């Protein structure tokens, strides 16, 4: 049956549908496609569209925030349509924490999504042009920079820690309606004649987003009729600008952040102040979803970077500690910082090739070193070895050196931060030091058990580095 929509609407519908089909053809073939369906008009229209386009790959996730007395009926509505369309549907109830309801509901919702999604899966969201305009205005009034004013992207890659394991995973967010107006979506949805949810919270302008939607945007539209188009275009231009800044940031990270994640203050100070702020903001963010506010970046500068070297300054933000030693900045999660404080006790250890062990706050893999390098004799690999904590006053001669030296002095020369030195452990065999586990790598000691070839514990993320290279790099 031919649509009764005006011809101009038929054109934009055809174009939008064609863009969606083209994007589907580019998706990884092994990825599942999940639609976040609240039961509202936008996500319900997406359900009917994608059920017709990719019925086999499509899955639905419905989140019940339990904030409304009718929420169970909304879940039932989504389940009914999914059953009619033969689309698998996962229903999840979440508990929204006290505080900012909008922010806490969003946090609970995404946490639920990320528990379901596997690596490289796609999550479809129903945001449209009005949502984009609201987001941009809200961030503008919050004092956001270029990245914040980029607002929402149609296609976005996210890297998160897998809640089901200790690994990280990537997934993708797709917003197919981001360039469509609310009126266009309403016209398109009218063709399907489905029921949908109208959440009362979407009309309560006590919420910031709803106030922008019901109060500010209509007022602006009286003066600027195409204000949503203009704001949407601004977001795209900000995304272009952000991409350019990210390319500059990659260069600055490569210059200023070492393989151990430490930020070199000497190199940082060679950058212009805007590039310093961008780099510090990125570095402070770490694996978090959001960057720190400008005020926190400035506090890091004034309270830690510009503090006296002997001031033992430390800054805490978003469950992360930032501190300085010499010309380096360090960043630790609360769990990492607590682990550093734990006392070390002597222990026995049995090793074999390819074992991965965690010592001195780092991961090491037991590997052959090759015939041109020196390592430990293969005969002691299966023996019972001892890991001994530092007691103070130890003297060790490292492989290739002429004399014994105080371990304390070598740690100072290597610029290992004082709070890390209590994590140092010495690998022993029958009271003979074989080497030292440090945050910079394993330092091979000179002993009767050293031979050409052999094996060594090597940092997992830097397996090509040998002890002498790590030592020289840490002194630079």
Question: Is there a binding annotation on residue 42?
Answer: yes
DSSP annotation string for 394-405: -EE-BTT-SS-E
To the question of whether residue 40 is assigned a binding role by annotation, the answer is yes
Question: What six digits make up the tokens of 34?
Answer: 């999940």
User: Across the strands, what pairs with 120?
Assistant: none
Chain centroid offset of residue 233 CA? 27
Tokens encoding 49: 């569209």
H-run or E-run covering 133: helix 129-141
Q: From CA 470, how far away is CA 385, in angstroms rounded? A: 24
Q: Which residues of 207-236 are buried (b: 16+ CB within 10 A; e: fewer)?
A: bbbbebbeebbeebeeeeeebbeebbebbb
38 is in an annotated binding site: yes
- Does residue 16 have a known ligand-binding role? no
Which residues, other chains included, contact 190 with Cβ-Cβ below 8 Å and sequence gap of 6+? Answer: none
Separation between Cα atoms, residue 281 and residue 148, nearest integer Å? 13
**What whole-number distance in Å separates Cα of residue 123 and Cα of residue 33?**
6
Phi and psi angles of residue 386, each rounded to the nearest 5 degrees, phi first: -115, 140
* Sign of the alpha-carbon dihedral angle for 87, 93, 99, 101: positive
Contacts (Cβ under 8 Å, ≥6 apart) of 139:
148, 149, 151
Structure tokens at 321: 């500690």
206 is in an annotated binding site: no
- For residue 158, what are its two tokens? 């996210």
| Tokens of residue 410, six digits | 């070598």
- The tokens describing 278, both together, are 């961008």
Strand partners, 90: 61
Q: Which two tokens stand for residue 459?
A: 């940092």
User: How many residues comprise the chain?
Assistant: 476
286 is in an annotated binding site: no
Q: Which residues are known binding-site members for ATP? A: 38-43
> Would you list which residues are annotated within the binding site?
38-43
């Amino acid at each position: 049956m031919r649509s009764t929509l005006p011809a101009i609407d038929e054109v934009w519908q055809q174009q939008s549908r064609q863009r969606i089909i083209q994007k589907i053809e580019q998706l990884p073939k092994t990825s599942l496609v999940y639609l976040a369906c609240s039961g509202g008009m936008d996500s319900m229209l997406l359900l009917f569209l994608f059920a017709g386009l990719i019925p086999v790959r499509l899955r639905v996730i419905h989140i019940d925030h339990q904030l409304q007395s009718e929420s169970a009926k909304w879940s039932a509505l989504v389940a009914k349509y999914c059953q009619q369309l033969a689309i698998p549907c996962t229903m999840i109830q979440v508990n929204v924490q006290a505080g900012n309801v909008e922010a806490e509901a969003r946090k609970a919702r995404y946490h639920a999504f990320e528990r379901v999604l596997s690596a490289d899966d796609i999550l479809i969201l129903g945001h449209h042009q009005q949502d984009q305009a609201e987001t941009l205005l809200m961030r503008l009034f919050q004092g956001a920079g270029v990245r914040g004013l980029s607002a929402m992207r149609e296609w976005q890659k996210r890297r998160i820690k897998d809640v089901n394991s200790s690994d990280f995973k990537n997934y993708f967010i797709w917003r197919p309606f981001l360039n469509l107006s609310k009126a266009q979506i309403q016209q398109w949805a009218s063709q399907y004649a489905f029921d949908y949810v109208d959440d009362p919270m979407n009309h309560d302008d006590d919420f910031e987003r709803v106030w922008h939607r019901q109060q500010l945007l209509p007022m602006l539209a009286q003066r600027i009729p195409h204000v949503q188009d203009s704001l949407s275009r601004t977001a795209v231009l900000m995304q272009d600008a952000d991409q350019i800044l990210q390319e500059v940031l990659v260069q600055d990270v490569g210059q200023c952040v070492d393989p151990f994640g430490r930020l070199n203050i000497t190199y940082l100070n060679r950058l212009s102040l805007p590039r310093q702020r961008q780099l510090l903001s990125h570095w402070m963010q770490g694996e978090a979803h959001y960057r720190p506010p400008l005020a926190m970046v400035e506090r890091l500068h004034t309270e830690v970077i510009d503090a006296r070297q002997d001031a033992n300054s430390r800054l805490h933000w978003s469950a992360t500690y930032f501190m300085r030693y010499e010309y380096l900045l360090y960043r630790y999660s609360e769990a990492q910082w607590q682990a550093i404080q734990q006392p070390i006790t002597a222990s026995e250890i049995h090793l074999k090739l390819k074992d991965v062990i965690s010592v001195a706050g780092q991961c090491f893999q037991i590997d052959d070193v090759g015939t041109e390098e020196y390592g430990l004799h293969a005969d002691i690999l299966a023996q019972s070895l001892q890991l001994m904590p530092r007691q103070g006053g130890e003297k060790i001669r490292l492989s290739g050196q002429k004399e014994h030296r105080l371990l304390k002095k070598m740690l100072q020369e290597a610029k290992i931060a004082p709070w890390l030195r209590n994590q140092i452990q010495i690998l022993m065999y029958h009271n003979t030091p074989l080497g030292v586990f440090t945050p910079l790598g394993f330092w091979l000691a000179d002993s009767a058990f050293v031979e050409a070839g052999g094996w060594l514990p090597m940092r997992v993320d830097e397996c090509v580095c040998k002890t002498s290279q790590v030592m020289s790099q840490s002194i630079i």
